[in-house]
Structure 1
Amino acid sequence: MSDYLEAVGTFLTNDMGKAEGQDVTSRSLLTFSEGALAVLIDANQAGVTGFGPYSAATGSWRGVSNSDGIIRVSAVVLHFTFATSQFPEKKIGRVDIDATIDTNQDTLSGTFRLFLFPIDGDPLGPIPEEPALSGPITGQKVVAAPSG
């Protein structure tokens, strides 16, 4: 993990997905902790056309490679959908994120894929061939302003 400490932090992201011919855009906060915890909080959690409301997502991340200030990371986070009259069936969402972090620019770019499973399904087992939503993710690291 020490080879990937520069990836640790929170990124304000732009997410641009496609699902069945529909564009879904959002902003998110994606956090990678030193202990390999990944957290994703999405501005669309209240739901959008075609998707019901859902919880924040948590899971894990790992560094894949680190070369010349470019860190490649892989993350898997899980969330739960909430039952509504339009979406009465609760589900488990799995978001896979593959991205590179440019530590010189404090930027993130990559792809995400959302898979939906029945509430009693196994989101950690085999994944479907086609995601429910997928697309590019880009972001800027949130850095505290210098004091003084």
Structure 2
Amino acid sequence: MTDTLTLNGSERIAVQKSGPGRFEVQATYQPRGERPPMHVHPAHTEEFTVLSGVLRVDCAGSVRDYRAGESFDIASGVAHRMWNGGDEPATVRWISAPAARVESFFRAMDALHRAGTTSLLSKAGVLREYKDVMRPSSAVTRLLVNVLGALRPAPPTVLAPAGQEAL
């Protein structure tokens, strides 16, 4: 059985492989989806292959649409964000390496959605706890995350289901 996690209202991931060196998912971005803030990953790289639909990527200030069959990489420390600005779902293969706490971060975001607590205050707690995984690229947003995150700490780490390696 595939484990599916919700990252935001328009983005879901199905875990394919999980381990400390590599975390692989199939992500589905809903049409006209939510645009995440520009962010960086301080310690891991990401590889994407678009399987269907169109994914719009803003990487270091350059915006490009990627279509089925196209691939791209995001180096650690490079500011980026992606979303589906089209009319059909976009599906991508997404690999994070090394994985470290990437899965734990995604599970914490999913826990917020399952609990119905997706406010900025709740997300700030998760982002503050997982700043080694994902950091907003804006200094103002990082400050906001640190202040609000201190008011509402992240929920306890959620472990992977039986049969999957927890990070």
Alignment TM-score, normalising by the size of structure 2: 0.28
**Greater helix content:** 2
* Bigger CA radius of gyration: 1
Q: Which has the higher contact order (CA 8 A, sep 6+)?
A: 2
Higher percent of residues as strand? 1
